[in-house]
Amino acid sequence: MTLCEQYDWSYVLTFKPGRTPALWADFEGLLKLSPENRLVQTLPDQTRQIFRWANDLDYTDSEGRVHTLQALLCEETKAKLKLTPG
């Protein structure tokens, strides 16, 4: 993250389960405090997506450097197929 920030690069990180539990807990807490940060859409194949986000999460890395992050969660539900007799 530091290298990206030094060069003013944009970057995207993926949370891995258990990797940054304190950051994940902060994210979940901010989601509860910001219910308006939500977008729901249905795709043409009837897949439903729910996007939720939180801004300005503080993260301190292993070398004590502080980073401010934005986080996005996408929950996706595939449509159930309806079978017709053929």
Q: From CA 51, how far away is CA 16, in angstroms rounded? A: 18
Q: How confident is the model at residue 82 (pLDDT cuts 50, 70, 90)?
A: low
pLDDT attached to residue 25: 92
pTM equals 0.77
DSSP 8-class letter at 83? P
Q: What pLDDT, on a 0 to 100 scale, did the predictor assign at position 81?
A: 67
Structural domains counted in the chain: 1
14-70 pLDDT per residue, tens: 877 788 898 999 999 999 999 999 999 999 999 999 999 999 999 998 999 999 999
Query: Residue 84 pLDDT more than 80?
Result: no
Sheet holding 38-42, edge to edge: 38-42, 48-60, 66-77
In a domain, 83, yes or no: no
Residue 82 inside a domain? The answer is no
Predicted local confidence at residue 77, as pLDDT: 94
Residue 20 domain-assigned (yes or no): yes
Domain holding 52, by residue range, is 2-77
Q: Domain for residue 64, yes or no?
A: yes
Any domain includes 84? no
Within a domain: residue 33? yes
